[in-house]
Amino acid sequence: MRARSWLRRLGLAGALAATWAPAQAQKAQDTLRIVWWDQIANINPYYNQLRAGLVVAHHAFDTLVHRDPDSFVIKPLLAVSWKAIDDTTLELDLRRGVKFHDGSPFSADDVIYTINTVLTDRQIAVPANFAWIAGADRIDEYKVRLRFRRVFPAAMEYMAMALPILPKVYRERVGQAAYDRQPVGTGPYRITRVDGGTEIDLERFEDYFPDSPKGRPAIRRLRIHQVADPATAQSELLGDKADWTWNLPPDDVDRLGLLPHLQTTRAETMRVNFLMFDAAGRTGAGNPMTKVKVRQAIAHAIDRQAIAKNIMQGGSRAIDTPCFPTQFGCDPSVAVRYAYDPARARALLAEAGYPDGFRTEMISYLLPQFEAPVQGYLKAVGIDARLVHLQTEAALRRNLEGGNPLYLANWGSYSINDVSAFLPQFFSAGTEGFSDNDNTRDPELKRLVEQGGASTNADERRRYYAAAIRLITEQMYFLPIMTSVQSYAARREVSFRAYPDEIPRFYLTSWR
């Protein structure tokens, strides 16, 4: 009865009998039906920073090098070999015989075009991912040199995870707007249809080069349905309209796994959930978040251990560092720790001039299960944080515009296992002045983060990053709450494996 009551809450009471029936996935049609509750406003991988967009990019596009999902070893992909000319120049020999999905050949011109695009196009969603690149030179049709602005030890990781290669001839011929509606890459799947922010269809690219480390996909077609909320995603899975979904509310994972035709799994990922403060006063000079004691009070007010254990579940950890623990340079020993202490929080608020607390807004795109406890802990010490729940793209845009006094969000670092993929995203490293995503605007912090990414000496990098982490946590510019645990559900006919970098690889998925 408990399962039936839960299904009724999802609006499936009328279809309960069908739900329990052993309905088949789309194995006979060789189509994996995917549903998620992100809407990718622009499918071009450079014009969105959603995880869903990154997932699509890894299927429809290739990068110069490939990072093995198990070992994290860098392997050849569109580049077959490479060598360092000096500390800031990398020469790459490119793979011959590769075709884009429109049939045009891949060459050095496409690499140069891609680099020029990411360096000059103001629509690029995450310019910090490319701030280390100075330019690229064509040596011949299948050889290029990539020039760095500075020494950048994490370059190969960025090339593997965040630098998909665009087709010069096709994109220039059809124009940017048409390309964004029908992107072309060299990946194992080609995009066959994009219907606004709701539908994306992909089909196995039969001319995909056979020695790619991604391999030839076992499943012919992927059909992605993008919905507005997790309840709708679950309804589609339960109502035989989908075969796979993810990002489930934690309380629902085990219940879905009890159904005989479904399987579920959880896996900790490189994503960090956090609360960021408008310390720079972008929302107005009277914003209480400009006061360090207010920010420290909030850090003491939230029981992060309890949220990780009881809300996120599945092995989530409360952390003290503004980065994921495995990332190079992420040293937890240097972070200032803020224990859960409501009395200390109230005392700090009084010292900051708010003995009776204050009102503010908290902008978030997370699940309500994570928003409500944070809001409740703040309320308990006198901070009335009105929740403004937005779709992910809208919340990100509002942050870029400087409109978030409190920002409850998460960051997955593009799955790059280096602090240079986390700190520069929020603390302006490598940009002229301060980036729109920086709510701190601290020049000393910016300097430390930049220097941490500008040396080949591992110990020197660690020292700069340690100093940055110490400063961030002393001033409480950024409150890490917990690591994410990603949850997945699929029909039992689907042979799917989760990876710790939070990239579902449907090109490695098959039917049982």
Cite the beta strand spans of 390-505 per DSSP E. Answer: 406-411, 478-491, 494-495
Please tell me the predicted confidence (pLDDT) of residue 73: 94
Q: What sign results for the dihedral spanned by CA atoms 127, 128, 131, 133?
A: negative
Residue 153 in any domain: the answer is no
pLDDT at 158 over 50: yes
Spatial CA neighbour of 226 closest among 247, 199, 191: 199
Tokens of 221: 């077609």
- The pair phi, psi for residue 107, each rounded to 5°, is -155, -175
- Determine how β-strand 199-204 pairs with β-strand 383-389: unpaired
Spatial CA neighbour of 479 closest among 303, 267, 316, 359: 303
Stated as kind and residue range, the H or E segment containing 189 is strand 189-195
Residue 497 in any domain: the answer is no
pTM of the model: 0.81
Q: What is the CB neighbour count within 10 angstroms for residue 448? A: 23
Instruction: Tabulate helix, strand, coil % of the chain (nearest 5).
Output: 35, 25, 40
Residue 286 in any domain: the answer is yes
460-480: per-residue pLDDT in tens?
999 999 999 999 999 999 999
Residue 314 in any domain: the answer is yes
Q: What sign results for the dihedral spanned by CA atoms 105, 111, 114, 116?
A: negative
Cite the beta strand spans of 351-403 per DSSP E. Answer: 358-364, 383-389
Give the DSSP letter of residue 308: I
Residue 233 in any domain: the answer is no
Question: 214 near 66, Cβ under 8 Å?
Answer: yes
DSSP reduced 3-state for 368: helix
Percent of the chain with pLDDT over 90: 82
Domain that holds residue 423: 270-485
DSSP reduced 3-state for 411: strand
CA distance 189 to 208: 8
Please tell me the predicted confidence (pLDDT) of residue 204: 98
Highest-pLDDT range among 3-12, 244-253, 379-388: 379-388
Please tell me the predicted confidence (pLDDT) of residue 186: 98
Residue linked to tokens 């490119």: 94
Stated as kind and residue range, the H or E segment containing 375 is helix 368-380
How many residues would you count in the chain?
512
CA distance 372 to 355: 23
pLDDT at 411 over 60: yes
- The pair phi, psi for residue 405, each rounded to 5°, is -65, -45
- The pair phi, psi for residue 465, each rounded to 5°, is -65, -35
483-511: per-residue pLDDT in tens?
999 999 999 999 999 998 999 999 999 99
425-443: per-residue pLDDT in tens?
999 865 678 889 999 999 9
DSSP reduced 3-state for 6: helix
CA distance 233 to 256: 12
290-321: per-residue pLDDT in tens?
999 999 999 999 999 999 999 999 999 999 99
CATH number at residue 278: 3.10.105.10
Distance of CA 486 to the CA centre of its chain: 12
Region 225-232: mean pLDDT is: 93
Tokens of 512: 């049982």
pLDDT band, very low/low/confident/very high, at 41 (cuts 50, 70, 90): confident
Residue 333 in any domain: the answer is yes
CA distance 421 to 410: 13
Please tell me the predicted confidence (pLDDT) of residue 24: 54
Please tell me the predicted confidence (pLDDT) of residue 174: 96
CA distance 35 to 309: 27
Residue 149 in any domain: the answer is no
Please tell me the predicted confidence (pLDDT) of residue 15: 39
How many structural domains is the chain composed of?
Answer: 1
Please tell me the predicted confidence (pLDDT) of residue 393: 86
Residue type, position 72, single letter: F
CA distance 60 to 72: 21
Which residues, at least 6 apart from 74, have a Cβ–Cβ distance to it below 8 Å? 65, 66, 67, 68, 156, 157, 160
Give the DSSP letter of residue 418: B
Please tell me the predicted confidence (pLDDT) of residue 12: 45
Angle, alpha carbons 427-268-399 (nearest 5°): 30
Question: 63 near 159, Cβ under 8 Å?
Answer: yes
Which residues on neighbouring strands pair with residue 409, listed in sequence order?
274
Which residues, at least 6 apart from 68, have a Cβ–Cβ distance to it below 8 Å? 74, 75, 213
Question: What DSSP string runs through 197-246?
Answer: TTEEEEEE-TT--TT-TT---SSSEEEEEE-SSHHHHHHHHHTTS-SEEE
Residue linked to tokens 């020029």: 116
CA dist list (Å): 487 to 238, 257, 493? 16, 11, 18
CA dihedral 189→191→193→198, nearest 10 degrees, is 90
Residue 279 in any domain: the answer is yes
pLDDT at 1 over 50: no
250-277: per-residue pLDDT in tens?
889 989 999 999 999 999 999 999 999 9
